[in-house]
Structure 1
């Protein structure tokens, strides 16, 4: 990091932080409607101690996030990591899939310069809009030398979360994010930043190569009374892997588990995660993973389990033991 005013690359993808609303008290708004240049024009009035270099990537709600934007983000961040003129990278992002983007980047980037994702729960113009405060907080984090060596981070609600831990846990609350199994790793305001521990990944290389594409992996949400037809449907559309968002400790009706086991025998890896918000999914507790051939997701929820399984398959990892070891690491 430079000793002078830091230079931060700002990659814009849209989301609520770039959203607009016709009514300050209304509930509806359009995500990703404001351009990155317009948003940074408002940011300029905050007097932040950083030089911001804007690079628009997309103007979408993050429900539409996918391969093309991910690929562009990865290329831009990788180039910035190697650019001596750039001290850190900010990514403005919608909150619905921020945890997935953060974790995908975490798996495929070296832990070097700060990479900070930031969003908002309320659009610009709404009463109590949080976007500018979150952005100011993100600038403070990305400008701090101690943010290096931690992998991608997400800043929301005056808290800093590691990509591996963060998840969205509420639909519309300002404090919609939390970390599991760890909580936040720092507290931040526009004028202060307090880390709860030191960086543990300094100099760590990327765990996996960035793939040329990502395979189709589906999340199957378990529910009472379901049958094996949904498993057959997913296999019928060419899924290369399946993540079960199971009941409790990753459970499902016996007929569904049997159908998933047949998929494993046909070369389709199956990961058991939980539809419950917190808790580990351990091996061989209620479900005999050894007999069925399943992988236990451990601390990863369904969304992140899908990301990891896609990256593993894309990198040619097919052995069940190796896949389980990757999930054990998280």
Structure 2
């Protein structure tokens, strides 16, 4: 690994959080600025030239379209700079999967882009932030990381943005990947990829961005299924001009009959309706009735990432369910 120039885009989160006590349970995310953070990182003597830029300093529960645009603009500028070898985004874990996937779909793949976070604040016993960051530097400085899209690095594992999800509320081993699991194993001194890069064009070169980032966020609510669900919930979700809807259904995206009928009527009127699942893991495959009802199957995407993709599709002029389905089928 050579001394690559890596830009660190800081957004806050637990990795920049403090509790004021090594054993206190509660803490405040986004308390450490990027200059202070990189001063601490400098003591690790990592083989990289790190430059920091503060995009925000928040808990990631407050992440949203305005900050996504700022982050995307900074990342795009850095990726176009020949002097920049890769990007690390420090981010809270609560919405890391959404930010990672959004950037994955809207940035080119020719240089590494790595999200890192922490499950324990910087001053906690057993804090995982510095190790995750050091691992992120190892990935961001590896040329073989190109062509894999945006990745998320946590607990010595590398996850593709499309696969990554937060599966546990606490503990450093909180992230999982579906359907592929981790795509690599990393420590501050080693990196092993479990397969070749896949985000390549017909000439074998890393892909460009798949979609333009939206300037005005299309309204796409997520509706969560529950036993005895009335159709009025659908009507409320579709209010205020919703252009799409993600239904987090039972099992493989199942829903009560009256709810299905109401969503089919919405699809017929031009609303893109995605069947996802409230279950933690598993595929939501196409069913025989989907074509007739105008539904889109989320496949391996959970509700949160299905919403992000649907927003991107709508913002890029995709309104046909079959065309949208092809995007959900795509790896």
TM-score, normalised on structure 2?
0.96
The alignment's C-alpha RMSD in Å is 1.2
Deviations 1:176-210 (A, max 9, x none): 11110001111001111111112222421211122
Tell me by how many angstroms 1:29 deviates.
Answer: 0.5
1:217 partner SS? coil
Tell whether the 8 Å contact from 2:2 to 2:48 is kept in structure 1 after alignment: no
Residues 188-207 of structure 1 aligned to structure 2 (within 5 Å): 188-201=186-199, 202-207=205-210
> How big is each residue's C-alpha offset from its partner over 1:288-308, in whole Å with a ceiling of 9 and x where there is no partner?
212321111111110110000
Aligned length: 326
CA distance in 2, matches of 1:225, 1:268: 24
Q: Write the distance in 1 (CA, Å) between the matches of 2:304 and 2:113.
A: 20
Q: Give the match's secondary structure for 2:246.
A: strand
- Measure how far apart 1:74 and its partner are: 1.0
Residue number in structure 2 paired with 1:237: 240
1:5 aligns with 2:17: no
Correspondence 1:296 to 2:294:
no
Q: Which runs of 5+ in 2 are unaligned?
A: 200-204
- Give me the whole-angstrom Cα distance separating, in 2, the residues matched to 1:329 and 1:147: 20
2:261 maps to what in 1? Answer: 258
Q: 2:169 aligns with which of 168, 171, 174?
A: 171
For residues 310 and 90 of structure 2, what CA distance do their matches in structure 1 show?
A: 25
1:211 positional shift: 2.5
Alignment match, 1:184: 182
Q: Displacement, 1:34?
A: 1.3
Corresponding residue for residue 16 of structure 2: 18
Mapping 1:101-116, distance limit 5 Å: 101-116=99-114
CA offset at residue 174 of structure 1? 0.7
The answer for the alignment partner of 2:223 in structure 1 is: 220
Residue 4 of structure 1: how far off its partner (Å): 4.9
* Contact map agreement 2:2 2:47 (CA 8 A) in 1: no
**Alignment counterpart, residue 117 of structure 2, candidates 105, 119, 125:** 119
**Correspondence list, 1:9-48, <5 A:** 9-48=7-46
Say whether 1:315 aligns with 2:313. no
2-structure distance, mates of 1:55, 1:154: 19
The aligned residue for residue 74 of structure 1 is: 72
Gaps of 5+ in 1: none
The corresponding residue for 1:91 is 89
**How far off is 1:238 after superposition?**
2.2
- Looking at structure 1, the residues matched to 122 and 109 of structure 2 have their Cα atoms a distance apart, in angstroms, of 32
How far is the alpha carbon of 1:255 from its aligned partner?
1.3
CA-to-aligned-CA distance 1:146-186 (integer Å, 9 cap, x gap):
11121111000000011111111111121111110001111
Indicate whether 1:53 and 2:54 are aligned: no
Q: Which residue of 2 aligns with 1:305?
A: 306
Partner residue, 1:327: 328
CA–CA distance in 1 between the matches of 2:320 and 2:27? Answer: 46
TM-score by length of structure 1 reads 0.96
Match of 1:162 in 2: 160
Query: Runs of 4+ in structure 1 displaced over 4 angstroms?
Result: none
Shift of 1:328: 1.0
Output the CA distance in 1 between the equivalents of 2:196 and 2:45: 29
Q: Distance in 1 between matches of 2:210 and 2:80?
A: 18
DSSP-derived class of the 1:199 partner: coil
